[in-house]
Structure 1
């Protein structure tokens, strides 16, 4: 008697960009499928976002963004969609200044990357995608006790995105990040490490 065995295969994380989010099945078409989703083809603030430089307005009052300069322990999780860094054991990193009217406590960082150097980021600038995108997500610690409460509240959450390019310069913290990611090739894999989040930010007059 021939019996077929069900074999569970682990699928490695090769490309963290959302499948089905672009082209003729993208969010701009979802509103045509269901009237409850009409904001998907009418709204202007849903993800993924393309930043058009021609529509940017200079803000002379914009101040420097401050992020705590210290190492913290993080749990790194392969979610199958992205790689998520979660701050552990009450670790605290805050960001303030810039466009933020409050102090936001970073609770996780999401990393998006692709299977090649051309595309990997979730968002884009002038329709250009980048090899890597870091998303620093924080909740308003001035008004709320945690991210769960803040998620559905006014001024509850804030995000800071950093796009990364590939070049010949060396970044020890960036190398550490991708060394750890290589240890978790499959969905559900986790690892722990310490990381200096501020070291992932580019050196600019505003960071």
Structure 2
């Protein structure tokens, strides 16, 4: 491992740093989405009884305890339930827009790392090839075989390292984006269901 890092040259350090940050983001987001899914399921179960008895204060308390983006939007609906239906819907929609960044937290850096890691690997390939051609140019037909092997090794190792970081980052970035979209669709459905009850249409 250490020999491969050394062979990749100085560009291995930012690639490794990108890999560490990407790993942290992936683990954090996985736990986050698993956690809010469980909390939202518990919240909706808790709300069923309170909604049936029109105990909206208890509903608001349950939302506060859940602490998820969906709970935040639902709490806004319960807190503003005495508003006109049009105003209520506008406030809830604004709150939904407000909680989206919580779902998308750290996804932009993850996407950036996916691109940067690829470019760093490509840069390592270019610099390694430049060194290889420099060795060939300085030493006649073949140059110094040891120096030539070192330059080629730098080109290949940085390319591989960049792809190792980039590919999982791209995969998980797209996966998390799909999770965000799924949560937003589900949130919209649940909030609409609650709004229908609050406005007295059921």
Quickly name the TM-score band, shorter chain normalised: under 0.3
When you count strand as a share of all residues, which structure comes out higher?
Answer: 1
Larger radius of gyration: 2
Return the structure number with greater relative CO, CA threshold 8 A, min gap 6: 2
When you count helix as a share of all residues, which structure comes out higher?
Answer: 2
Q: TM-score, normalised by structure 1?
A: 0.19
